[in-house]
Amino acid sequence: VRFYREAAGSAPLLVVTNREPVVWKGEGVLSLPPGGVSQTIHRLLSRTGGRWIALRDSGGPDGLRVPGEEGDPGYRLDRMDIPPALMEGHYAGFSNGVLWPFFHDEPARISGSQDDLLAYREVNRRVAARVVESLRESRPSLVWVHDYQMALVGREMRRSGGSLPPLAFFWHIPWTAMPSGEIPPRWLFEIVSGLLSYDQVGFQTELYRDRFLETVFSLFGSRASWDGETLSVTTDGGVRRLHPGVFPISIDPDHFRMMARDPANLLRARLFLEDLGLNPETHPGGYLISVDRLDYSKGFLERLDMLEALYSLDPSLAGRVSLLQVAPSTRLSVDAYRRYAEAAEARAEALNRRYSREGWRPVVTVSRSLDPSLLAPLYRLSRGCLVTATRDGMNLVAKEFLASQDGGSSPLFVSRHTGTAMTMEGLSLIDPADPRLSARIIQEGLSMDPREVQRKNLDALAFLREHNVYRWMASNLARPLLAASLASGALAL
Ligand code: ADQ
């Protein structure tokens, strides 16, 4: 907050996301949905003031004043209504039927039409028009747009003419190395040229940023150049200059540490585990925990293959160590997600049929979101954490687990295909493409000297405390805010 106030003065920030940061519960009551990032940005805006524009998810008025705490100004939330058919093409169609599988290297799951692209374009156009309209009421220091559902907002804003504040964008998901032929090349061209309209495009890792640059060079050839800081591209609309940056996202580790050691939270977690038949006192083998939306990119089938491989590698673990999956369903309007959810459920049932014993089940699935104040002690009381994503921009669950362990002796096993594995050292890496090798790594990790695991966990926690989400936010905003201060004359070099 201090960094932002010093850099931006009183000019507020304007944030654009597909989803709203709060849920309308009726009668003016708002609640925060789970998901660390939007809550962090929400806290910043609550304290600095500002504006947030998002597509409406729940009832209530079109414009909301989201209150801040104890004298903080709070911020204004503009909630846009999109007609259902248009939303279907934008969200289920192009965003999650085309872009998500394409960028997560899942070509067989791509399904979308030209009409879906038109819907996506139209929703991005409407959002851009709302942002431009809001600039007439108050001019923010910068506009910060998020994620693959909103790639074209910057382009549409520029098309409206007029002078604009700096436009920053953050791409939360991986950038693919897949040949562009997996989707019509002009679709990819449209997304990439859309991104070139921003002044800064942030990626989670160097690998994704470098792949983005390779894609730009493959599309624009000698019309593109890169000096290590600035990418310049000659397009039909003139020369675009932007900064493609690397900003690995993170969490607030102290928040998770505190929640995980809170006695009331721990008690609640123990009761919760008791109800599931996983009470650590009566089931001393304990449980491995996985927490993710039921998404094919999170590797549910691969995880269950690993568990089966683990039981065949060490039969003494069958009957002792369970898997607790906290896995709310997601994006059920997309066919690929419905089919995947059914397949994951059938696979878990098959494992349970094969390995269950009196009073013990190998796989326990909780199909809903849990509050972070319950998740944190569940991470802490677990025997270990399994992150099995086949592709993941970052993966915050791994970081939440490490923070909640707070130097405990339960190991994290994290897929090498996550941004977390690419940007943190000293983690135990598994590979969902090789369940047997992964099972061996898990078995070794579970029998490691607890002091050794503790040391690894403490090293990881020290790293997270330094590379926390506030640092992520500040590093993201530093450059565009500097540009804004220079442009407004507030800062002279
Ligand atoms: P996601 O794909 O949603 O995010 P992730 O990074 O793991 O993946 O973040 C999920 C968040 O939701 C975590 O804070 C987690 O605690 C919470 N969550 C997940 N399942 C939950 C459950 N059952 N109950 C309660 N909370 C739950 C996208 C990208 C990631 C990237 C993030 C942030 O796909 O790669 O790390 O954005 O940039």
C-alpha 392 – ligand 1 centre gap (Å): 10
Q: Which of 103, 120, 82 is nearest to 176 (CA)?
A: 103
Q: What is the pLDDT of residues 276-287, one digit of tens each?
A: 999 877 888 999
Alpha helices in 161-225, H assignment, sequence order: 185-195, 206-220
Q: What is the dihedral of CA 279, 285, 291, 297, to 10 degrees?
A: -150
**Which amino acid residue places its CA nearest to atom 16 of ligand 1?**
397
C-alpha 250 – ligand 1 centre gap (Å): 11
Listed in sequence order, the residues at least 6 apart from 478 whose beta carbon sits closer than 8 Å to its beta carbon are: 7
Specify the ligand 1 atom closest to the Cα of 326: 23
- Residue 34 has a pLDDT of 66
Q: Which of 186, 182, 183, 178 is nearest to 391 (CA)?
A: 178
Q: How far is CA 427 from CA 320, 445, 453, 471, in A?
A: 25, 11, 10, 21
**What length does the chain have?**
493
Q: Report how far residue 238's alpha carbon sits from residue 242's, in angstroms, rounded to the nearest whole number.
A: 13
Helix-strand-coil percent breakdown of the chain, rounded to 5?
A: 50, 15, 35
Q: Which of 353, 357, 376 is nearest to 272 (CA)?
A: 376
Q: What is the DSSP letter of 411?
A: P
What is the rounded average pLDDT of the residues 301-314? 98
Q: What is the pLDDT of residues 206-232, one digit of tens each?
A: 999 999 999 999 999 999 999 999 999
Q: Report how far residue 271's alpha carbon sits from residue 216's, in angstroms, rounded to the nearest whole number.
A: 53
Pocket test for ligand 1, best of 106, 246, 373, 394 (most atoms within 8 A of CB): 394
Q: Is 16 in a helix, a strand, or coil? A: strand
Assess contact for 381 and 322: CB atoms under 8 A: no
pLDDT at position 2 over 90: no
Q: Could you report the predicted ipTM of this complex, rounded to two decimals?
A: 0.98
Q: What is the pLDDT of residues 24-47, one digit of tens each?
A: 888 888 888 766 688 888 988 998
Listed in sequence order, the residues at least 6 apart from 38 whose beta carbon sits closer than 8 Å to its beta carbon are: 17, 19, 21
| Banded pLDDT at 490 (limits 50, 70, 90) | low
Pocket test for ligand 1, best of 292, 378, 467 (most atoms within 8 A of CB): 292
Q: 9: number of CA atoms within 13 Å, CB side?
A: 12
Q: Which of 380, 435, 390, 434 is nearest to 412 (CA)?
A: 380
CB neighbourhood size of 96 (10 A): 23
Got the DSSP string for 72-99? Answer: ---EEEEEE---HHHHIIIIIIIIIIII
Q: Which of 364, 390, 187 is nearest to 290 (CA)?
A: 364
Specify the ligand 1 atom closest to the Cα of 371: 25
**pLDDT mean across residues, the chain:** 93
Ligand 1 site residues, Cβ closer than 6 angstroms? 34-37, 172-173, 249, 291-293, 326, 328, 369-370, 375, 392-397, 400
CB neighbourhood size of 177 (10 A): 12
Element (H, E) at 128: helix 114-137
Pocket test for ligand 1, best of 207, 290, 291 (most atoms within 8 A of CB): 291
Distance of CA 463 to the CA centre of its chain: 19
Q: What is the pLDDT of residues 128-177, one digit of tens each?
A: 999 999 999 999 999 999 999 999 999 999 999 889 999 999 999 999 98
> Would you say the C-alpha torsion 434, 437, 442, 443 has a positive or negative sign?
positive
Q: Which of 101, 50, 49, 55 is nearest to 72 (CA)?
A: 49
Specify the ligand 1 atom closest to the Cα of 291: 20
Tell me the percentage of the chain whose pLDDT exceeds 70: 96
- Residue 265 has a pLDDT of 98
Q: Report how far residue 320's alpha carbon sits from residue 314's, in angstroms, rounded to the nearest whole number.
A: 11
Q: Report how far residue 472's alpha carbon sits from residue 464's, in angstroms, rounded to the nearest whole number.
A: 11
CB neighbourhood size of 71 (10 A): 6
**Which amino acid residue places its CA nearest to atom 35 of ligand 1?**
393
